[in-house]
Amino acid sequence: MANDPLQTFRSRFARAKGYRGPYHLWSNAAVGVTSVRRDDQFEVTDAEAGGHVYQNGRHYVLSGCTTLHLIRGVDHILVSTELRDVLQEHCGESVTFQPARVRDRVTGRTVTGYAELRLPSAICDESLPRVEAEGGHAWHFMDCHLFVSERAAGEIDRCGILGLVFAPGFSDFIGRAAAG
């Protein structure tokens, strides 16, 4: 589908040959979007301030494209209710959620349809080879990056949520560091 305007935002999970560890899950639609915890709510903004609109009174969306299903802050991860439901189903007890009050910093408007993802288990480059990645599990890296098991990544991808990217281990961090 060469003329598909949403092709950029289609989930892209492909098992890495010979790799059996966790996959970093992030949103290519949310590049430049940040969230800051302020008291009992989260303020969301984007570097270009204005590239996002609301759809049916819910969710922060890239104008004309897709809901931002995963938004990172320096110490938290916000997920859409759709992604929350999928994570809950396929990652079991490794995930918990807290209702999130989200406000657009530019307009002051409240955005509904998000939850804060709470991940009790951490992962780092040293622990990556020892992580039990069988079954459906999720971990955090530095409180703001989401990692999921291979099985969970496959199930999340099958759900067709737009804007998600899967990278084996810390491979995308290495690629970004080398490019930057």
Asked whether the beta carbons of 101 and 110 are under 8 A apart, the reply is yes
pLDDT in tens, 99-125: 998 887 777 777 788 899 999 998 887
pLDDT at 74 over 80: yes
* DSSP annotation string for 33-96: EEEEEETTEEEEEETTSSSEEEETTEEEEETTS-B--EEEBSS-EEEEHHHHHHHHHHHGGG-E
Domain boundary assignment for the chain: 11-179
Which one is predicted more confidently, 140 or 11?
140
Tokens of 62: 């890239």
Question: In the Cβ-directed half-sphere of 15, how many Cα atoms lie within 13 Å?
Answer: 10
The pTM for the full model equals 0.79
